[in-house]
Structure 1
Amino acid sequence: MVLEMFDIILGPIFSVFESVESTIDTAAPAGVLLLGLLVGLRHAMEADHVAAVSTMVATSRGRLRRAPILGALWGLGHTATLFVAGLIVLLLAIHIPENVSGRLEFGVGVMLLFLAVTTFTGFNTGRFLRGIFRKGSHEHVHQHENGVVHSHGHTHEEEHHHDHKSVIIGMVHGMAGSGALMLAVLATIESVPLGLVYIAIFGAGSIASMAGISVLIGLPFARAKNHIKLTMALKYASAVVAFVIGAGMVYELGFVEQVFQG
């Protein structure tokens, strides 16, 4: 249901992209690269991508200021994975089997479920592990005027930004989407350097598009920053959307298409 609603909302935009893409002459390298840029811009708007980034924006501090950074880092991770996969595919002239691509997409669904649950609960994996191993904290010593000296544990958890999380999520999406992208590249490109430039241009489009989308996601949070209940409602809404999309992907791929069978 959520995916269908998402497609309806962005349908006109996707139609414009597809119309422009269909007019591009891919016989020339410049046309291939222009196609890569447009496909990259459109690719970042897919529902599972937006859902994942929305949970990151919803749980970040200084949401509007950091939103484009989170989106760009997602695109960077996405591009890094595609670049490695593309290099392997182009050099070895192989393609990624459909069942492997489906299993990776299933992993994206699981990741969305995890992001939804952590957004709902506020659970932080890194903080949990540091709590177990007692890392990331140190002692501060204080001396009062009466001569009493005491110390207390202190962490800089609130000051630390987990930018690597955005990169990792982008890398997971890159692995899942690499199959279809590489098939498209192999169908039109025979030159390895041109193929790699295509992926780089595609990545630049994804980075720019997701940075812009992240700003749009952050705007409602910026408007509601002085209203705790509204902020929480927006946060939970992003978690619900991610959960529904993730559950839909897991069900469709795991039980309907049965990507792990055979």
Structure 2
Amino acid sequence: MLELPFLVGGLFGVRHTFEADHVAAVATLVEDDDRPVTAGLAWGVGHCLPVLALGGLFLALGVELPALANRVVEFAVAALLVLLGVRVLLDRPPIGSRLFDHDHTDEASFLVGIVHGFAGSGGVVVALAAAAGSSLAGAGFLAGFSVATVVGMGLASWGVGHAVGRLRPLRLVAGLASVVVGLLLGLETLGLGVGL
């Protein structure tokens, strides 16, 4: 009985992994990382935590994130994408590498994933889980979505990380794409732009 919601959630998670704002964020985080898969896995886990928490609250209590809070978080994602892209365009070292003897790409990826998990599409996932027919089916949907998102982002990060690491000009493309996607998402959140 749980197989179908798990499978549907998994398929949605795979598709969700490749949304423009997710790929843009991870591309800027892994551009100098020698372990892009772990950064992607950290992003995926960070992304799933708020989705699972909000989904659990919604399924158990009927509580959901207010629309205004959702818009604020979506705008924070847009600003974060712009900042990550600018960091790459200015050829800055990995996050935290100046303060410590190692970089903190995985931790940064985890935190960026958390912010993304609270953003608008996380609400869609929670709504889909709630529409699954029962709390158990909704939990199966959330579980499938989460597993697929973590694995999918790990694989996407591996591909992006290896491509960007080998071809220096792709770093600039990743940075520029992050800025553009962030600006478009910000305009969309303010009601001034086109959908991504």
Shorter-normalised TM-score: what interval?
A: 0.7 to 0.9
* 1:188/1:219 CA distance change after superposition, 3 Å: same
Structure 1 unaligned regions, length at least 5: 1-27, 131-135, 137-155, 225-230, 258-262
Distance in 1 separating the partners of 2:116 and 2:72 = 12
Distance 1:219 1:59, change over 3 A: closer
Could you tell me how far apart the structure 1 residues matched to 2:38 and 2:159 are?
13
Task: Give how far 1:223 is off.
Answer: 3.6
Any residues of structure 2 matched to 1:34-183 within 5 Å, and which? Answer: 34-60=7-33, 62=34, 66-121=35-90, 122=92, 126=96, 130=99, 136=100, 156=101, 159-176=102-119, 177-183=121-127
- Runs of 5+ consecutive residues of structure 2 not aligned to the other structure: none
Q: Offset at 1:194? A: 4.1
Larger Rg: 1
1:174-214: CA deviations, max 9, x gaps?
A: 100221111111112322x4433432221110111111111
Q: Report the alpha carbon displacement of residue 171 of structure 1 after superposing the two structures with TM.
A: 0.8
> Percent same amino acid among aligned pairs?
29
Structure 2: how far apart are the matches of 1:56 and 1:175? 19
The 1:162/1:124 distance shift into structure 2, 3 A limit, reads closer
Distance of 2:103 and 2:19 partners within structure 1:
29
* CA deviation after TM superposition for structure 1 residue 215, in Å: 1.9
Q: 1:194 to 1:242 in 2, by over 3 A?
A: same
> Structure 1 pair 29/165, CA: closer, same or farther in 2 (3 Å)?
same
Shift of 1:250: 1.0
Scaled by the length of structure 2, the TM-score of the pair is 0.87
- Give deviations 1:48-89, integer Å, cap 9, x for gaps: 0000000011132x2xxx121111111111111111111211
One-letter amino acid matched to 1:50: V
Residue 180 of structure 2 aligns with an amino acid whose one-letter code is V
The residue matched to 1:218 in structure 2 has which SS?
A: helix
User: Are 1:200 and 2:169 matched, yes or no?
Assistant: no
Change (3 A) 1:76 1:125: closer
Instruction: Out of 70-79 and 117-126, give the one that drifted further.
Output: 117-126
More strand by share: 1
Q: Which of 184, 187, 190 pairs up with 1:251?
A: 187
TM-score, normalization by structure 1: 0.66
Q: Give the drift of 1:237.
A: 1.2
1:160–1:220 CA distance, 2 compared to 1 (3 A): closer
Q: Is the contact made by 1:59 and 1:119 (CA closer than 8 Å) also made in structure 2?
A: no
Whether 1:234 aligns to 2:170 is: yes
Contact 1:79 1:200 in 2 (8 A): no
Take 1:218 and 1:104, find their aligned partners in 2: how far apart are those partners? 26
